[in-house]
Every structure is written in C-alpha cells, then in structure tokens.
Amino acid sequence: MSASLPVTIEDIEAAGRRISGHVIATPLVASASLSKLCGVPVSLKLEHHQSTGSFKLRGATNAVLSLTTEERARGVIAASTGNHGRALAHAAKAEGAVATICMSQLVPTNKVTEIRRLGADVRIFGNSQDEAQEEVERLVAERGLVMVPPFDHPAIVAGQGTLGLEIATQMPDVAMVLVPISGGGLAAGVAAAIKARRPAVRVVGLTMERGAAMKASLAAGKPVLIEEQPSLADSLGGGIGLDNRVTFQMCRELLDDIILLTEAEIAAGMRHSYRQEREIVEGAAAVGIAALLAGKIKDIGGPIAVILSGRNVDMDLHLSVMNGETDPFREGVA
C-alpha cells in the first residue's frame, strides 16, 4: 500500500479513538444461508444498526469533532443523497452546531423528512448530487459555512475506515470484504484499514449499473461526469467530483474490483436480507448480498464479510420490492 495515500491507518486509528462513545461497534453475524450458497463462511456487518441508520455517522462524527470551536459556530453544510445529511445533522446537533443539507429532487421523501426532524436547514436543489453541490458551494461563499463533504474528505474517509478496523478484529481470518461504493468514502476507508491489518484480503466494491461514477472514473483514468438515474440503490447515486482529491486515488490503489448490479439483482438482495436474514435494508446496502446471489463474486478463497450499510429505505418502496417488484423506477412505473 502506497505511503502517499491521503488517509493512513494512523488517521483511521485516531478517528476510532475520537468517535468512541459517539457511534456503536456494530455486530458481525454469520449468515447460514449465504455461507451454504458460497461454500465458505459469510458474515454480515450490520452497520445499518447505527442510530442514524447508516455507516455515515462514523465519518460525519469524526469530521465534526475534528473542527475547531470557531468552525462549528459558523455552521456546517453538505450535499447528500440522504444518509450523509442525516448523519451530519445528528453529529452537528450533538455538538451544538447548525447543519445545512442540500439535496436533489431524486432524494426519497423519507430521508428528507428525517433530516428536517433533526433540525437541519434543508435545501432541495436540482436533479442530481452534482447540482446540489453547486448550491453548497454558493452558500459556503455567501455565508462562510464549513463544508463537510459526503465522501471526498480525509476526516470522512478516516471515520468510515473505523468500520474496517472492526471487521479485521471481529473476523481475523477474513479473505474478502464486500463494500457498497458510490463516491468512495466507505470503500476507501475500509480498504485502507483492512489492507493495513490484513494485506492479502480482497476488497471489492459493489454498485448499481445506473450511474456507476467511480467505476466509470477508474476506467477513464480520471474523475468523469455521469448521468444520475433513479435506482433502488439511491444512496449510491451521484458523481465523485471532477476535482476529487482523496477517494479516487485511494480506490484506484486499494480496491481489487468494482462489480455492477442490475435493479433486479438489487431487489433480490433486499428480499434475501428481509426473508432470510430478518434485516430491513435499503437497496444500496443490499448490493453485497445481491452480488453473491447473482454469482458475480469470483475467486472466493475464504471467509467473506458483507457490509450492510444502511436501512433508511422508504417502507412503501420496501413493501413493493418484497412483493416482487424488481424495478420500480423503469419508464412508465415511477
């Protein structure tokens, strides 16, 4: 692993000490059904059990606690597809700071409502994460707010990396980690932590076919713009930023692969999580299970850890998927 990476194992360990007591160390539980399917032990990292319903609380808490008193007093701001906004609103409120969250019109209503409940100033702007980010930058310039990006920030990546430290401790013989990927904050942090502790472990990113920004950027050799589209994995939407400074480099150097899932495969992952594992997760959290069910994970050499990243799904949408819907966003349906 390159010594020049923007986030190191020391940064992640420091984040772990900083956020201790503010987030929970989530369980890693064996899945009998997936272990039988794969022929190796498969365990699920229940990160959706965090108080805000997703892993995002780790990075947001680390970022807020890393700010000076003066910076917190100015207020924090971020663009979000929902889960980062909820986590940042929660972390800011706990420290007496005001959060402003900018989201596109694609963000599900249930996520917007919860962020407002936490006292954040919510701005709905544009039809993509990139357009919401434009509003963030305008308000930073106009009001002097402190930007806390959803993924491309060392403190965010270090906070998310604490999840990887937990997996390495909970499953010392882990051979592969399956991690949802969007902008790369979670994947970069987990990969940095896992490979620092267990260099031979394969870390594989999973995302939807519709708008796989990091996959397209890595293929192009640089950050690129992609069209954001509605998906069951809405939390994985959005670009990685053309001026990406942290996660593109880390994902390029640390990830072993990125695998794409269809909407039908993601729906199958959600159904398996509910029916077999008794866990309610959003589409973005089901991509690891989906990849295993679809037979898309190759060269399985040992125990697998699958990260279930969030539970903040619209329950009417969840019900429709449980009842057999495979693509509620296809033309003419949504």
Question: Which residues does the annotation mark as catalytic?
Answer: 56, 309
User: Going by C-beta distance under 8 Å and a sequence separation of 6 or more, which residues neighbour residue 124?
Assistant: 102, 103, 104, 105, 107, 112
End-to-end CA distance of the chain: 44
Query: How far, in Å, CA of 49 to CA of 25, rounded?
Result: 10
Residue 35 in tokens: 């272990």
Tokens of 43: 């365990």
Q: Is 101 helix (H, G, I), strand (E, B) or coil?
A: strand
Decide: residue 219, CB within 10 A, 0-12 exposed, 13-18 middle, 19+ buried: exposed
What are 261's strand-pairing partners?
Answer: 208
Considering only CA atoms, which of 7, 2, 1, 3 is closest in space to residue 185? 7
Separation of alpha carbons 30 and 42, rounded Å: 6
Q: Give the integer Cα–Cα distance in Å for 138 and 70.
A: 21
DSSP 8-state symbol, 204: E
Whole-angstrom Cα distance, residue 81 to residue 328? 18
